[in-house]
Amino acid sequence: MAIAEQVDLASYCLETARKAKRASRALAAVSGAVRNHWLRESAAALRASIEPILAANQLDLAAAPSYGLTDAAIDRLKLTPARIEDIAIGLEQVAALPDPLGEIIESSIRPSGIDVQKVRCPLGVVFFIYESRPNVTADAAAICLKSGNAVILRGGKEALHSSQAIVSILVEVADRTGIPAGALQLVDTTDRAAVGHFLKLDGEIDVAIPRGGEGLIRRVVEEARMPVIKHFNGNCHVYVDQYADLAIATKVTINSKCHRLGVCNAAESLLVHQDVAAAFLPMIAPALTDRGIELRGCEATRQIVPTAKPATDEDFFTEYLGPIISIKVVASLEAAIEHINHYGSKHTDAIITRDLAASRKFAVEVDSAAVMINASTRFNDGFQFGLGAEIGISTDKFHARGPCGLKELTTYKYVVYGEGQIRE
Amino acid sequence: MAIAEQVDLASYCLETARKAKRASRALAAVSGAVRNHWLRESAAALRASIEPILAANQLDLAAAPSYGLTDAAIDRLKLTPARIEDIAIGLEQVAALPDPLGEIIESSIRPSGIDVQKVRCPLGVVFFIYESRPNVTADAAAICLKSGNAVILRGGKEALHSSQAIVSILVEVADRTGIPAGALQLVDTTDRAAVGHFLKLDGEIDVAIPRGGEGLIRRVVEEARMPVIKHFNGNCHVYVDQYADLAIATKVTINSKCHRLGVCNAAESLLVHQDVAAAFLPMIAPALTDRGIELRGCEATRQIVPTAKPATDEDFFTEYLGPIISIKVVASLEAAIEHINHYGSKHTDAIITRDLAASRKFAVEVDSAAVMINASTRFNDGFQFGLGAEIGISTDKFHARGPCGLKELTTYKYVVYGEGQIRE
């Protein structure tokens, strides 16, 4: 790239970010009614624009083989009238959610007489980097603007035409419904260097949210100067306690592992208390095998289930995202907790037990975003938890943990009312 | 430094951090009664150890001139029986605060029948880096352990002996009151490279909190791989609106500027609406000048107050931390808000007004951690806000904003209770 182009790209990114920052200040004062009106009008506009959206999507589909996309990726890229209807319904659902802004989270009148209110407000500018599904474009725009944030969308080049078509509709509606100009912008260069420029602009961008493969997330974490809401692996466990109801253990293990293989909240590892291993493993092993799952077990597991392959230490660290499960027999609840905290990824871990003390100990000591007691790991999800919408599942502890919905895209400020109070 | 020493230092830091991590897991399950018992017993032990603490402090005071410490810095370093009593009282006050852990922040029973609880829990391991005041050692240990976090303290070399004396007492009490070993550790090397090693250990350390000068904070932000709770400048404003009560405006401006000059929540800049400038500036100018404050004004200010020096653009960006104030006459509330968002540091900004709409607009649109309405900027403080204790004032928006007390050192996890629910 010539120097002039590099300068151009850097100034393009800076100008985009500054525009977003200015818009974010104005957007903080825009009422929920206006933001919801934009969402509902956008849904209507998408429904009225099926043809141009499909035409743009055709350009992406035509180029897909040249990007080496798999059939599954091409299917995710493909839009249909039904999928556009789903996108429109999604916008309406976000409109129907309660407005997170302005909530007084805490308040007190202090001895000095000042009235201290902790008030929920937007973070400011979100930089959202994602891969090729065009529906994510509309979802992310909806969640960010509903929570009062300006957003800079950077989608995959594979979906650029589709995303441009969708965003141009949402922006046109924004212009006529009172959303400040610049509140929604799509990065329209496919130059990868643009991401690097944006990630340096911590004066303009308040949070970066990467959504995609581990490589993308690691790059963003490495380069970002602003905070990142990130979502690493989900190496999730089901622990079958000595006091487990084995029917529940079977049902939950099968659902956690087999309901969907390639998702972050699928179980990758099964821990079984030694006192129930002889009863439980012969029940669960064929149930998993029948569903096409390969078993990789510790030595004690293989004595009970000889068909299981031997599991290495590496297996216990692995998020398979596929038809394999690692199995370990543990000596105690404590050993199970220690195993999970060592090998796990702080995402979602379940215990199956009838014992109250065991459930409470597991809940306190397992250091994960979600702890399930007698329920499938698959429930760790913004919709299942009642957040209404979700922009990702954070495996961090800072600011946002677990599913990130509207509230997780907000911060708070202190608003203090006095009548001339001063500090003595 | 020889390579062997560098290796030693790196392993020392890693071992310290791993010990803290192990302790943090155990500490998460330690009851509030045990944590409070440790605090109260530590207060008693400090009172019983005045002599050895003062002896250790003497070593630091003797070395102080060789570190080039100013008289003010030496005074802050000096311990007396009264100051040790204050430290002990501080520990008892933290013990008396409500336990932040275990609070169910939100909960709901979902259509699937699962009971979803969002439960407050510790962050894990805090790396706290601070400068030379030995009382901070006890304060930070108290706040971190009370909130269930293990802490690695790295104090200034100037206070090392004093800090060692205090920490050895707190650790001795920890050992006999059931606090896990390693929950409280003081870094006992003064090698600056140690900080760099710790800042890389994002697998072990959950948050870094620097407290000190801007150089320290910038270094930590630059090098840290874990989140940082940071506290940059406080370039705070008082805006006197066209509808201000000028008696309140005078009182609050004087208090905000003059109550303490060198603190982050002191006002550094005064904005005055043009409609009240001719009435207000002649009142406030002599009041500030009489208190030794130098005035630096815009052109319009200097037409009314000819003794004011001219203010440059740089002045409006400056946190003086001293006896100077910048003054600007603004054309409107909007111009005041724009000025604050452009020149300010997102810390604390006040409006003086009787107008409800102006107060609401200012509160929503000024993008600062605290917005004061008819009250002094000096109120932005953990104790004044009722947090009970404070480990700093965050100028970030992410995770913690404004004063950071016990809650700001916590995160949450989702604990989900089911009876065998699976996803269909």
- Euclidean distance between CA atoms B291 and B240, whole angstroms: 20
CB contact under 8 A, B423 and A259: yes
Contacts of B25 in chain A (CB under 8 A): 341, 365, 367
For B211-239, write each residue's pLDDT tens digit.
988 889 989 988 999 999 988 789 999 99
- Euclidean distance between CA atoms B304 and B301, whole angstroms: 5
CB contact under 8 A, B375 and A399: no
CB contact under 8 A, A420 and B379: no
**What confidence score (pLDDT) does residue A22 get?**
96
- Euclidean distance between CA atoms A379 and A386, whole angstroms: 11
The three-state secondary structure class of A218 is: helix
Q: Give the pLDDT means over successive 10-residue stretches in chain A (424 positions).
A: 73 97 96 98 98 97 92 91 96 96 96 97 97 88 98 94 97 98 94 94 95 89 91 92 98 98 95 98 98 98 98 97 97 98 96 98 96 98 91 91 96 98 96
Residues 117-176 of B with CB under 8 A from A: 119, 121, 123-124
Instruction: Give the closest-approach CA distance of B232 to chain A in angstroms.
Output: 13
Q: Report the interhelical angle of B333-343 vs B356-365 (nearest 10°).
A: 20
- Euclidean distance between CA atoms B272 and B276, whole angstroms: 7
Q: What region does B373 belong to: left with phi over 0, alpha with psi -120 to 50, or beta?
A: beta
Contacts of A419 in chain B (CB under 8 A): 248, 374
From A378, A399, A416, residue closest to B379, measured CB to CB? A416
First-last CA distance in chain A: 62
Q: Are strands B184-186 and B267-273 parallel, antiparallel or unpaired?
A: unpaired
Contacts of B416 in chain A (CB under 8 A): 370-373, 375, 379-380
The three-state secondary structure class of A86 is: helix
Instruction: Give the closest-approach CA distance of A111 to chain B in angstroms.
Output: 9
CB contact under 8 A, A369 and B227: no
The residue assigned the tokens 């495996």 is: A395
Task: Delimit the CATH 3.40.309.10 region(s) of chain A.
Answer: 236-379
Closest CA to B149 of B161, B141, B138: B141
From A369, A375, A411, residue closest to B401, measured CB to CB? A411
Distance from chain centroid for Cα A388? 13
**What confidence score (pLDDT) does residue A7 get?**
76
Residues 192-231 of B with CB under 8 A from A: 206-207, 227
**What confidence score (pLDDT) does residue A399 get?**
95
The answer to whether the beta carbons of residues A79 and A163 sit under 8 Å apart is no
The residue assigned the tokens 């002649």 is: B282
Instruction: Give the closest-approach CA distance of B24 to chain A in angstroms.
Output: 10
Contacts of A123 in chain B (CB under 8 A): 397-398
- Euclidean distance between CA atoms B355 and A101, whole angstroms: 23
Structure tokens at B389: 């204790």
From B252, B363, B423, residue closest to A255, measured CB to CB? B423
CB contact under 8 A, A25 and B116: no
- Euclidean distance between CA atoms A48 and A172, whole angstroms: 13
Does the pLDDT at position B1 exceed 80?
no
CB contact under 8 A, A421 and B376: yes
The dihedral sign for the CA sequence A211, A216, A217, A222: negative
Instruction: Give the closest-approach CA distance of A156 to chain B in angstroms.
Output: 27
Contacts of A361 in chain B (CB under 8 A): 29
The answer to whether the beta carbons of residues A59 and A161 sit under 8 Å apart is yes
Q: Which CATH superfamily is domain B236-379 in?
A: Aldehyde Dehydrogenase; Chain A, domain 2 (3.40.309.10)
For B20-79, write each residue's pLDDT tens digit.
999 999 999 999 999 999 999 999 999 999 999 999 999 999 999 999 888 888 998 999
Specify the CATH architecture of the domain B3-229+404-416.
3-Layer(aba) Sandwich (3.40)
β-pair partners for A371: A349, B415
First-last CA distance in chain B: 62
> What is the pTM (predicted TM-score) of this model?
0.93
CB contact under 8 A, A414 and B402: yes
Count the helix, strand and coil residues of chain B and give each as a percent rounded to the nearest 5.
50, 20, 30
The residue assigned the tokens 């000042």 is: A114
CB contact under 8 A, B423 and A112: no
Tell which wins on pLDDT, B191 or B126. Answer: B126
| Other CB atoms within 10 Å distance of the CB of residue A124 | 24
What count of residues does chain B have? 424
β-pair partners for B404: B392
Task: Delimit the CATH 3.40.605.10 region(s) of chain A.
Answer: 3-229+404-416
Structure tokens at A349: 């871990």
**What confidence score (pLDDT) does residue A73 get?**
87
Residue B341 forms contact with A (CB below 8 Å): yes
**What confidence score (pLDDT) does residue A168 get?**
98
Instruction: Give the closest-approach CA distance of B404 to chain A in angstroms.
Output: 12
From A359, A369, A417, residue closest to B414, measured CB to CB? A369
Contacts of B124 in chain A (CB under 8 A): 367, 397
Does the pLDDT at position B424 exceed 60?
yes
Structure tokens at B244: 């201000």
DSSP string, B13-68: HHHHHHHHHHHHHHHTTS-HHHHHHHHHHHHHHHHTTHHHHHHHHHHHHHHGGGGT
